Chain A
């Protein structure tokens, strides 16, 4: 996918210096991933494309805020795309066929090549999610990857809203314990 993360970090640093060529290169290296994010969460190509444009505007404006740390550069970009998509999603009215469409998208597996790259880290969270009951792991994934709200999760899993809240919070605590073990 996006190449070495040090390359991405370097491009972000150059974008912070207002280097338009670096911006084009960063776009080239990361736009497919970020479009994957906006598309999966928004489930509408036109909206996902609009959101993607706004995401890169933000990246241009905020590149100087990126600090190398334990947060990888691609994760930082994904977070911008994800948060922007969530804002977009929460601001619009629910569309009736969203859930149905979402099942199609959610059932698709990850890109094998991309998956291999972060295999170690991913294996760990997978292992920890596996310790949760299937539905509950699915709810965590649905919230993170699909941007589902508590209401949508409750309706998908056919449980009352408060039950879903309790489930998910407990799952998050278990996940944390597992990941910090």
Chain B
């Protein structure tokens, strides 16, 4: 290929053609032809980059005009298919989180949290779901907070109130969509953490109900809850 600064007709003609392409002056047929050539000809692509950069110097002449407020929510709805979030979503969710946390502390209940926001405002690289469940006291004085992190697959449970019962154990159950409780094992009053078995992960979704029952030492002998429900709460996506 010739040097583009050389003044023979070929490169000049091509250079102008590329400039017209950048300006949007070619008719659809010419445009398609040039696109095909751009794919095949590196020299032409170089010319394209040069023209884009040359003409982009005029970009400062585009005056800034504030877009209507509704535009961003509309874009997010198109992209993410979810109800539009306000641009103050983080702040709102923090408020919500704090109010939940406050409630948990005061009433000794729990929080159900999640992924604060669908946009991972707080941890940008983390797209996995987090669920938090407040397992509220059902007249027993016992309450727990549960947290499930889809990314790590870990489930954490912490007792917020209550005390162990002699010769008895607390057992945690996940109520599946079919309404049947599935045991997640005996839980201590001290904070515990465990990996969620793979076959249970798919059941862990917003709306999943978690309950804690009082069972004989070592847990329910039948595989189904046999004792009273002492605490329960729903996993929620905030």
Contacts and interface: CB of A to CB of B under 8 A. Distances in A.
B67 A173 contact: no
B30 to A, nearest CB: 11
B75 A125 contact: no
B151 interface: no
A169 B75 contact: no
A62 interface: no
Among B63, B72, B118, the one with the most A-chain Cβ atoms within 10 Å of its Cβ is B63
Contacts of B75: 27, 53, 56-57
B17 to A, nearest CB: 9
Interface residues of B, number: 46
Contacts of A12: none
Main secondary structure of the interface of A (DSSP, over half): helix
A24 to B, nearest CB: 6
B63 A125 contact: no
B72 A78 contact: no
Contacts of A75: 52-53, 56, 59
Interface string A149-175: 110000000000000000011001101
A1 interface: yes
Nearest to A105: B63
Interface in A29-68: 31-37, 39-40, 49, 52-53, 56-57, 60
Interface string A110-122: 1100110110011
A33 B19 contact: no
B60 A110 contact: yes
B70 to A, nearest CB: 8
Given A36-B63, A71-B53, A19 B20 contact: no
Given A141-B61, A168-B25, A71 B66 contact: no
Contact of A49 (B59, B68, B124, B127): B68
22 contacts: A17-B124, A17-B125, A20-B118, A20-B119, A20-B121, A21-B90, A21-B119, A24-B119, A31-B72, A36-B62, A52-B71, A53-B71, A53-B78, A74-B59, A115-B60, A121-B57, A125-B54, A141-B58, A144-B55, A169-B20, A172-B20, A179-B54
Given A32-B64, A143-B23, 10 more contacts: A14-B124, A21-B124, A35-B65, A40-B62, A53-B78, A71-B52, A78-B56, A169-B16, A172-B20, A176-B19
Q: Which 10 A-B pairs have the closest CB atoms?
A: A20-B119, A75-B56, A32-B64, A86-B24, A125-B57, A35-B67, A143-B23, A110-B61, A19-B124, A172-B19
